Structure 1
């Protein structure tokens, strides 16, 4: 069975700095029509940076929507069309954590809000870290913190790290690290 919904009409409801809110009329698989409200997002990259001592760099950051602080991996959105996911990951790692990496492993991607957004977050493991200049955006306040990677992965498994992209990235990185330990 083909489950595809096809857009018949699309209207932009709001065009913001980050979000493009849309309202579409769609043809359903059974031939009926329905409405869909969704957010067009430029996409993002997120990084699990692990240093030579086996520590991961997490960021403590306040998020306005939920109104509290979260532990997160460094991440950021695409700034322009055609930008490569790895380039975004490298830029965000330097901006937010003040480090660069010699080795990169693609972990996959995640869609954090499939019910109402097309946002895709590309996930990477970064290793061989070295210090570089940190330059966080003027309206962004983050506090980098290093902790043992195994502890951070355990926190994600226990539900103590609640940011979805960070949980997925940490658990995928743990699978890669664990597989290496088996070799």
Structure 2
């Protein structure tokens, strides 16, 4: 057996609050910053740099025929027009995550939903970013009264309704690789198989996000 700290108990991440000695923004970006922190952990002084991220939300909109609303959008860092879910940053001070998700669904695809549930929370790259992302399951989909103007990358968005099973097949075939879409599609398929008993309260706090922790 490999050595480690594993002990019997539930499979759950442990929240740790080490002593942070220094914390400085070493690069201030347009969307997010790069932060350098030195902290004490297990008797050692450690320095790490990471993306200081405001967090984000995404929406898996599902219609009455088990079809998922997907968008295709250009993403410059990976040079792809990739299939993904409507999503956006939590970059409006004080805006609740659910309200942000509802806003993004309206602004990106001109849709509203009658029912909202929490589908998944995850950390996108915990070794190099403090980003926490929440995915909502939205149902009872209808059109907005207003059609939103879109600029920059969003101006060329392609929208398509795709059966959930087809999305899962594309994920497993590695034909789509957007992390949010991969996690959300698999979570939705697993949740559906359990009669949606895995869903959470849409208003639940994002307890793992740094801003939420600092507010407590």
Q: TM-score, normalised by structure 1?
A: 0.90
Which residue number corresponds to residue 74 of structure 2? Answer: 62
Deviations 1:34-93 (A, max 9, x none): 210011111111111111222111111111001112110111011322211111111111
Compute the displacement of 1:181 (Å). Answer: 8.4
Q: Secondary structure at the match of 1:140?
A: helix
Q: Secondary structure at the match of 1:38?
A: strand
Query: Structure 2: how far apart are the matches of 1:116 and 1:14?
Result: 14
Query: Structure 1: how far apart are the matches of 2:46 and 2:110?
Result: 47
**1:48 maps to which of 37, 60, 75:** 60
Question: What does 1:96-107 correspond to in 2, within 5 Å?
Answer: 96-107=108-119
Query: Structure 1: how far apart are the matches of 2:149 and 2:180?
Result: 20
Query: Structure 2: how far apart are the matches of 1:4 and 1:181?
Result: 34
**1:129 maps to which of 129, 141, 146:** 141
Asked if structure 2 preserves the Cα contact closer than 8 Å seen for 1:110 and 1:165, the reply is no
**1:95 maps to which of 107, 128, 134:** 107
Q: Secondary structure at the match of 2:194?
A: helix
Compute the displacement of 1:124 (Å). Answer: 0.7
Q: 148-157 or 42-51: which moved more? A: 148-157
Query: Structure 1: how far apart are the matches of 2:120 and 2:104?
Result: 17
Question: What does 1:13-52 correspond to in 2, within 5 Å?
Answer: 13-29=26-42, 31-52=43-64
The CA RMSD over aligned residues, in Å, is 2.0
Mark the runs of 5 or more structure 2 residues left unpaired by the alignment.
Answer: 6-13, 198-216
Asked if structure 2 preserves the Cα contact closer than 8 Å seen for 1:25 and 1:36, the reply is yes
Compute the displacement of 1:115 (Å). Answer: 0.8
Which residue number corresponds to residue 194 of structure 2? Answer: 179
Asked if structure 2 preserves the Cα contact closer than 8 Å seen for 1:13 and 1:22, the reply is yes
Q: TM-score, normalised by structure 2?
A: 0.77
Q: How many residues align?
A: 181
